[in-house]
């Protein structure tokens, strides 16, 4: 925690009160939430920062896309357009945002990908295409929409029950916001997490009878992918790792464990690379980046022959139960 955030601690009670009051207004029906006839699944978190929402949305896409017409709806953070946008062959990270562009690039033809800061309007627009289910990305605090199934993510390293609200902590709202969730997933867990530690975490979460808790971890691929080739990661010589994500530490640890030779250029989350950045990167011999950052960098011809990304997937413990809960909700 940096010194500035500590100095802002007197604001914490004010932020707590404002967000608590806002939630109460929705809880009591004074502020209105809108429900929909079609199944809507919300994936989000209490905290600001990366909890693994994008990999979880992709997990749900893979789970549902063969049996249902799936749509995703995101805000489209840091895009250069406004209003509702439905991804098409002209879409870029600039027009719909890096994460939605990632969904579209990987699953086009199988999934509708849309962005709209006004989620109610976005849902209404998507209904014209008659999806069977809509996945709301990062909409846990967007209470104008009453999603029928809510998945709350919290990281193993920084669980919400050890945190406080902004600006000193990282929580967007008080901890009791977890009560709205149907499922809570503790993400980015170390491999081989013991049953006793899982039990202790569940006790700290203190789920209610309607809530299920799951644990997930990140599986990094053994290969990296470029525009027209794939390479085994351990065959790479010296490379430059470029990250613009909330927390690059797990990725850096993974690469270090493989004793790979690399330098790390770390940018802030959703960083908009400048032309000067691109010119500097073009001087590098080989670049490995995250899939999200790849969506923003692949447009530059000077990088295409040297730019690779490392795919990741989510592994969920007791995935069969989670899959059943999700599919049961969508079906009914």
Give the pLDDT confidence of 209-222 residue by residue, as tens digits.
999 999 999 999 99
Give the mean pLDDT of 305-328.
97
3-state secondary structure of 183: strand
Q: Assign 49 a pLDDT band (cuts: 50, 70, 90).
A: confident
How many C-beta neighbours within 10 Å does residue 213 have?
18
Give residue 270's pLDDT. Answer: 87
- The values of phi and psi at residue 220, to 5°, are -90, 140
Is the pLDDT reported for residue 191 higher than 80? Answer: yes
Distance CA 49, CA 247 (A): 8
- On average, the pLDDT of the chain sits at 96
Distance CA 187, CA 218 (A): 8
Distance CA 108, CA 4 (A): 44
Is the pLDDT reported for residue 43 higher than 60? Answer: yes
Torsion of CA 81, 87, 88, 89, to 10 degrees: 80
3-state secondary structure of 266: strand
Residues annotated as binding site for ATP? 47-54
- Structure token pair of residue 270: 């959703």
Percent of the chain at pLDDT exceeding 70: 100
Residues annotated as binding site? 47-54
Distance CA 64, CA 240 (A): 36
Burial annotation 267-286 (CB, 10 A radius, 16+ → b, else e) = eebbbebeeebeeebeebeb
Distance CA 45, CA 153 (A): 5
Least confident of 141-145, 147-151, 247-251: 247-251
Is the pLDDT reported for residue 248 higher than 90? Answer: yes
| Whether 204 contacts 51, CB under 8 Å | no
| Whether 243 contacts 293, CB under 8 Å | yes
Question: Which strands sit side by side in the sheet containing 149-155, from one edge to the other?
Answer: 85-86, 111-115, 70-74, 133-137, 40-45, 149-155, 183-187, 212-220, 312-316
For each of the domains in the chain, give its residue range(s) and CATH number, in order of start.
3-68+132-218+315-331 (3.40.50), 222-310 (3.40.50)
Is the pLDDT reported for residue 1 higher than 60? Answer: no
Q: Assign 105 a pLDDT band (cuts: 50, 70, 90).
A: very high
């Amino acid at each position: 925690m940096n010194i500035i955030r500590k100095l802002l601690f007197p604001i914490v009670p004010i932020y707590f009160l404002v967000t608590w009051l806002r939630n109460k207004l929705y809880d009591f029906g004074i502020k209105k939430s809108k429900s929909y006839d079609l199944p809507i699944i919300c994936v989000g978190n209490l905290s600001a920062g990366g909890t693994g929402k994008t990999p979880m949305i992709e997990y749900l896409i893979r789970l549902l896309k063969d049996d249902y017409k799936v749509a995703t709806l995101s805000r489209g953070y840091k895009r250069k357009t406004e209003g509702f946008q439905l991804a098409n062959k002209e879409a870029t990270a600039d027009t719909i945002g890096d994460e939605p562009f990632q969904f579209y690039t990987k699953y086009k033809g199988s999934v509708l990908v849309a962005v709209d800061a006004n989620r109610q309007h976005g849902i209404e627009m998507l209904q014209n295409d008659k999806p069977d289910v809509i996945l709301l990305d990062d909409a846990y605090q967007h209470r104008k929409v009453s999603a029928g199934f809510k998945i709350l993510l919290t990281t193993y390293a920084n669980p919400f029950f050890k945190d406080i609200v902004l600006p000193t902590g990282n929580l967007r709202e008080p901890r009791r916001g977890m009560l709205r969730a149907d499922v809570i997933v503790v993400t980015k867990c170390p491999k081989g997490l013991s049953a006793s530690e899982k039990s202790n975490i569940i006790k700290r979460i203190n789920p209610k009878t309607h809530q299920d808790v799951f644990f997930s971890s990140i599986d990094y691929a053994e290969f990296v992918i470029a525009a027209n080739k794939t390479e085994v990661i351990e065959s790479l010589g010296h490379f430059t790792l470029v990250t613009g994500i909330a927390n690059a530490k797990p990725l850096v640890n993974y690469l270090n464990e493989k004793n790979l030779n690399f330098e790390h250029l770390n940018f802030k989350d959703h960083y908009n690379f400048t032309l000067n950045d691109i010119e500097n990167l073009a001087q590098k011999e080989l670049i490995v980046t995250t899939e999200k950052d790849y969506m923003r960098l692949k447009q530059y011809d000077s990088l295409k022959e040297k730019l690779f990304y490392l795919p990741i997937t989510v592994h969920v413990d007791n995935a069969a139960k989670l899959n059943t809960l999700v599919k049961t909700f969508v079906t009914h």
